[in-house]
Structures are given as structure tokens and as C-alpha cells.
Amino acid sequence: MLFYFTATGNSLYAAKQLDDDRISIAQAVHGEGKKYTADKIGVVCPVFGHEVPELVRKFLSKAEFETDYFYLILTYGSRHGGAAELAQRMLEGFGIHPAYINVVLMADNFLPGFDMDEQKRTDKKADVQIARIREDIRNGVKFISPVTAADREAHQEYLGRIAKMQKDAFKNIYRITDECIGCGICTKVCPKKCFRMDGAKSVWNPKGCMTCMACIHACPMMAIQLRIPEKNPKARYRNENISICEIVDANNQWR
């Protein structure tokens, strides 16, 4: 049994190689007091600011897992900042004792920091990493990805930068241009139901937005734009092995 959260397909791609019994966290989070039982239970998700996304934390805090082997796989795009250690601390706080936590370096979808064309061209050997993790899980290996002093320093440096930003710095990060054709894809890939259709145009409500960027990457007309500079405004990203329909199935809150 494997739970996953995905925005642009990386974590779903990893999840598909690890277990056939997959459940979307964006859908499962709505269940109250759910109990899950299996020999092995896993979670695959990206890290935002080196930590597990708010949506995933909410699910983990509400669910109850009965298993002898709980594992967590964290996908990241540049530096993980000690994500495994931070995640272990979080899980222990929820009463979950992980047997295995590992990280997977994949393409980074954070538009202000990275050029998506460059990310798509760079081979980060994700398949090799995932294959090794799959073998570990199959063999019941117990392992927590090691964290260095440099990793911890990277996270503290990140926290320092965030502390200097305005509290609502990302609350108005998107704007919708006249290129919008009213296809509604943004409403279906957003895991927090932040988009709705007003006639033939999409409207974004920042309340609840966790800046996963599923919307801006999925818009076929590039009608969703950032209000802050980005590395390459003409490039967007979705894992080449994952279809837009799969992301819609995982995240759609309107069905």
C-alpha cells in the first residue's frame, strides 16, 4: 500500500515503480480517522522548502497505520536540506516510527529558481535511484538517509531567507492572463481547490494555496503566470512518463 502526492508527476512516477496499490493523498486526506493495514505502507511526496508539504502532513496526522514496515520517499530537485531528518522528526511526532526514509533527486519544478528546459535536459539518474530503493523496500531494509552538517546549514539558510520575506509573499504569486481559454485544467490539477471557472475564464483564490505549481505547469496556454521573475518564462514541466490525466485523477477536488 502506497500513498502519494504529486504536482508535476515526479512523485507519481516514483510511486508507480514502487507499488501497484497506490492511493492519492489529495483524495485520501478528506477521510476522517482512517485506519490502514498492510505488511508494508509507504508514502511518496516532494519536499517543499526541504519539508513534507502541508497537505501530506495533514494526512499523516489524521491517519492510523498498522504495519511492521512504514517507509517514506522524498523527491527533491536541487538540495534536500536534511529532508529525511526533518521528516523523521515529524513522523515521530505523529506516533509513526519509520523503518525506511530515502530521498530521490529529480527535476525541480520551482519556476523562480530553475529553467525547466535545463531541468528536462539534465539526467539526474532518477531511475537508478528508484530501482535501488525498490530493492531495499522489497528486502525490508531498515535505513534512514544520512544528513550532514552542510544539509542542516542549507535548511537554516533557507529559513533565514523565508523569515526576511513578507508573510504573504506567495499569496499573490499567480496572475491569469487573457490567454485563458476556459479549459478548466487548472481547476482539476489543483489539490486544494483554489481555482474555479467564472464563465469562460479561470479565477484563482490564493486561500489554501501551497504553491505546488501544478496549475502553472499544466496550463496549455501558459495563461497562468508568476508575478515574480522566473528563470525561463517560456518553459514548463511535467514528468515525461506521467500524463496530465493521471495528475487530474490524483488531484481533482471537483469530482
- The per-residue pLDDT for range 198-255, each reduced to its tens digit, is 999 999 999 999 999 999 999 999 999 999 999 999 999 999 999 999 999 999 999 7
pLDDT per position as a tens digit, 145-200: 999 999 999 999 999 998 888 777 777 899 999 999 999 999 999 999 999 999 99
* Domain layout of the chain by residue ranges: 2-161, 174-251
Q: What's the pLDDT band for 52 if we cut at 50, 70, 90?
A: very high
Q: What does the pLDDT read at residue 171?
A: 76
Instruction: Check whether 89 has a pLDDT greater than 80.
Output: yes
Per the confidence metrics, is the pTM higher than 0.85?
A: yes
Among candidate residues 26, 75, 50, 3, the one with its CA nearest the CA of residue 194? 26
CATH of domain 2-161: 3.40.50.360
Decide if 2-161 and 174-251 have a common fold: no
Q: What does the pLDDT read at residue 164?
A: 86
User: What CATH fold (topology level) applies to the domain 174-251?
Assistant: Alpha-Beta Plaits (3.30.70)
